[in-house]
Amino acid sequence: MPIPRRIIACVTAGTLWTGALGLAAVGAGVATASQAAAVDNGLAITPPMGFNDWNAFGCNVSEQLIKDTADYFVSSGLKAAGYTYVNIDDCWMTHTRDADGRLVPDPVKFPDGIKGTADYVHSKGLKLGIYEDAGTATCAGYPGSLDHEATDAQSFADWGVDYLKYDNCNNKSDGTRADFLRRYTAMGDALKATGRPIVYSLCEWGQQQPWEWAGDVGNLWRTTGDISDNWGSLKSITDANLPLAAYAKPGAWNDPDMLEVGNGGMTDTEYRTHFSLWSMMNAPLLIGTDLRKATQATMDILLNKDVIALDQDPLGKQATVLSSAGGAQVVVKQLANGDRAVALYNESDQPQHIATTAKAVGLPASGAGYRVRDLWQHRDYQSAGSLAATVPAHGTVLLRVGKDVRALLDPALVDAGVGGAALHIQPGKGADVTATVTDLGTLPALNVAVKLTAPSGWSVRPKGRTSVVALPGAHTLTTTWHIDVPAGTDTGTYPLSGTVSYSGVGPHTAVSSPLAGQVAVAVPPPAGTSYLSDLPWESASNGWGPVERDTSNGETAAGDGRPITLGGTVYAKGLGVHAPSTVAYYTAGGCTSLNATVGIDDEKKNSKGSVEFLVLADGKQVADSGVVTSTTGGHPLTADITGAQVVQLVVTDGGDGNDSDHADWAGAAITCS
């Protein structure tokens, strides 16, 4: 939890999560009683789209920012693309209520008040959102709405507010679901009583499984803690929100939090995955970046109409996971016109081949095959039934698939990639890789040609043919390439890129699409026993901040940890990680055992932290600590890794989210011959 807003949320969470279960029956009764009163507001029939300032500006919100954003919505085409709500988050008010007990907008930040700001936003054909809290104070310490619901809802209505995000800090809760229902229903009823249509967004961070009850109270509900602008956060929120598909429906949506697209902490590939999956999950699309500084790449993501159409599809069905193995997920969404949207989502750190079929995603049989639109390439293809791609690490190939005989005029969908898993090459040595191109269409792909490129200074040459005049449906062109890596090349993973070009049988069907691959340049550990923290790792991913060598995980910058301490014992060596985490080492078949003492660092003693430590040898589990908690100190862990090419040290969140999961691989050492 590296940022203040999260700490505030978690301090409160500590008291809420104890004894929070077991009151479902009481809760259900309350929900039924208030159901008709609270939710049938006819709003958010498709997930809300717009902007919220928090992710990019924190407390630096102002009338000027909101007005500039509204202007930009109009001038940039965002409004035309469906973005409507311009939402103010925390810190918009003064620290005290007025003599009549009403909230007071900060006169410096909002010289025209919320009313004047709303009038401006409305004059642009847009809507205004605001933030409050179901507690005595907001997360940033401004007056909360608990026990002031009617007064505050009336202020919002009088000002012309169209959307309320209702947070959960400082809530004085007894931690029961009944209490959550009472606090959130009170505001829902108060909004209803004003008679103004106001979208009601519950922000209780998934603490009381709001998907089970909030559909009767409001229009959307946060399912997790706060998002942050890094891959670990995106991945864990996605994993938590995907299984909740059954609870979403028009007017009632799961909310995995606002968008981070454009904020700089992730790659464009990761941001495209973010936008793809949020749309597949019917999430609200609330832009969370400074639009005045947005790059073309950011705007191209936010304005992708094909992807937005999935989010806004009138059927309102959240995507479900069809298959998931080793980080390769097939996620499918049913659409109103009978099409299926298919996300081939690679949450792993290497390129992965991901495949499914039209039949498996629920489409009816079709002798003439299917039309497949690649929603990021903006191109139509034809498939006889297979849907497959080699997807880059953290990437998503997003397809819209339907029956359409005219697709036979489109080029065949091809499945092209280099190798499967990461291939290892030692500096100063060479190795062969294999590129394959398979025609998944009904008709041949013509003039197929493959090119492969490696980082500059490396040599790459084909060992066989790289082109073919016609590649019939269901046939594969395989090319072996030899790659030499210069001596002295730094260890690490390097992309192999390339293109496959071909055309279909119809006119104007020339295609040039990218080939994704990756090699790892790696040096095996020396003979004898070495501390892992003294060796270069091949890859490392971590829930918060970077993996630390010889300290615990401090959550943000590199080097911010403390001495590794488990059960009162301080360890000079080891790795400090934060769940979910994977650290991989290249062992080249030459190592035999791995030993460590594992546990939650004493800096999180008696917290919510709980994790599981796993060791994988070439993907096969060879050691498992079981779930360890913040009260149990260090546990010895030994793994037989004989013959493995790659060893992975994995820490999962123990099944309860990754709050306080500071995990130590204390004294971790590897023995090689």
Query: Which residue numbers are catalytic?
Result: 167, 226
For residues 225 and 256, what is the distance between their CA atoms, to the nearest angstrom? 9
Q: Choose, by CB under 6 A, the member of 30, 50, 54, 565 that binds ligand GLA.
A: 54
Give start and end residues of each alpha helix (H) in 588-632.
none
Give the span between the Cα atoms of 26 and 44, in whole angstroms: 28
Question: What is the smallest separation between the CB atom of 319 and ligand GLA, expressed in angstroms?
Answer: 23
Q: Amino acid letter at 615?
A: V
CB closer to ligand GLA, 198 vs 423: 198
**Region of 131-139, 268-276, 476-484, 631-639 interacting with ligand GLA (CB under 6 A):** 131-139
Q: Mask of contacts with ligand GLA, 154-173, x by CB under 6 A?
A: -------------x------
Q: At what angle do helices 231-241 and 268-280 cross, to 10 degrees?
A: 20
Distance CA 204, CA 169 (A): 8
- DSSP secondary structure string for all residues of 102-164: ---B-TTT-TTHHHHHHHHHHHTT-EEEEEEESSSB-TTSSBP-TT-HHHHHHHHHHHT--EE
Give the nearest distance from C-beta 254 to ligand GLA in angstroms: 15
Among 168, 102, 91, smallest CA distance to 130 is for: 91
Binds ligand GLA by CB under 6 A, chosen from 132, 149, 226, 661: 226
Q: Binding marks (x or -) toward ligand GLA, 385..404, rule CB under 6 A?
A: --------------------
Q: Which two tokens stand for residue 8?
A: 């505030």
Q: Looking at beta carbons only, is 3 or 558 nearer to ligand GLA? A: 3
Q: Which is nearer to ligand GLA, 52 or 625 (CB)?
A: 52
Give Cα 183 distance to the centre of its chain. 29
User: Residue from 9, 277, 361, 372 that binds ligand GLA (CB under 6 A)?
Assistant: 9
Contact 139, 9 (CB under 8 A): yes
Considering the complex, what minimum distance in angstroms separates the CB of residue 9 from ligand GLA?
Answer: 4
CA distance 294 to 354: 32
**CB neighbourhood size of 459 (10 A):** 11
Q: Where are the alpha helices (DSSP H) in 229-351?
A: 231-241, 268-280, 296-302, 305-311
Residue 140 touches ligand GLA, criterion: CB under 6 A? yes
Nearer to ligand GLA, 130 or 140 (CB): 140
Closest contact distance (angstroms) between CB of 555 and ligand GLA is 16
Residue type, 95: H
Q: CA-CA distance, 548 to 551, in Å (whole number)?
A: 6
292 three-class SS: helix
Considering only residues 55 to 114 of the shown chain, the ones binding ligand GLA according to CB under 6 A are 89-90
Choices 138-146, 264-272, 448-456, 467-475 (CB under 6 A): range interacting with ligand GLA: 138-146
Q: Does 217 bind ligand GLA (CB under 6 A)?
A: no
Is residue 653 part of the contact set for ligand GLA (CB under 6 A)? no
Residues that contact ligand GLA, how many (by CB under 6 A): 13
Taking the C-alpha atoms of residue 579 and residue 63, their distance in angstroms, rounded to an integer, is 39
- Give min distance, CB of 167 to ligand GLA, in A: 5
Q: How far is the CB of 228 from ligand GLA (least distance, A)?
A: 11
Kind of pairing, strands 423-425 and 511-521?
A: parallel
Torsion of Cα atoms, 595 then 601 then 606 then 607, to 10°: -110
Nearest approach in angstroms of CB 59 to ligand GLA is: 8
Q: Which residue is nearest to ligand GLA (CB)?
A: 139
Shortest spacing between CB 165 and ligand GLA, in angstroms:
7
Please report how the helices 113-123 and 63-76 are oriented relative to each other, as an axis angle in degrees rounded to 10: 10
204 binds ligand GLA (CB under 6 A): no
The nearer residue to ligand GLA, 54 or 585, going by C-beta atoms, is 54
Q: Rank residues 140 and 294 by Cβ distance to ligand GLA and give the closer one.
A: 140
Pick between residue 6 and residue 549 the one whose CB is nearest to ligand GLA.
Answer: 6
Q: Is 288 helix (H, G, I), strand (E, B) or coil?
A: coil
Rank residues 171 and 390 by Cβ distance to ligand GLA and give the closer one: 171
**How many whole angstroms from its chain centre is CA 214?**
23
Stated length of the chain = 673
Q: Which one of 134-142, 411-419, 580-588, 655-663 is the stretch in contact with ligand GLA (CB under 6 A)?
A: 134-142
Residue with tokens 């909230």: 103
Residue closer to ligand GLA, measured from CB, 135 or 316: 135
Binding window for ligand GLA (CB under 6 A); candidates: 136-144, 246-254, 421-429, 523-531: 136-144
CA-wise closest residue to 621 among 592, 648, 653: 648
Q: Which is nearer to ligand GLA, 140 or 584 (CB)?
A: 140
| Least distance from ligand GLA to the Cβ atom of residue 226, Å | 5
Asked if residue 433 lies in contact with residue 483, where contact means CB atoms within 8 angstroms, the answer is yes
- The piece of 137-145, 348-356, 580-588, 637-645 that touches ligand GLA (CB under 6 A) is 137-145
Q: How far apart are CA 550 and CA 612, in angstroms?
A: 20
Q: Could you tell me which stretch among 116-124, 133-141, 286-294, 338-346 binds ligand GLA (CB under 6 A)?
A: 133-141
592: exposed, middle or buried (Cβ count in 10 Å: 0-12, 13-18, 19+): middle
- The residues of the shown chain that bind ligand GLA, judged by CB under 6 A, are 5, 9, 54, 89-90, 131, 138-140, 167, 203, 205, 226
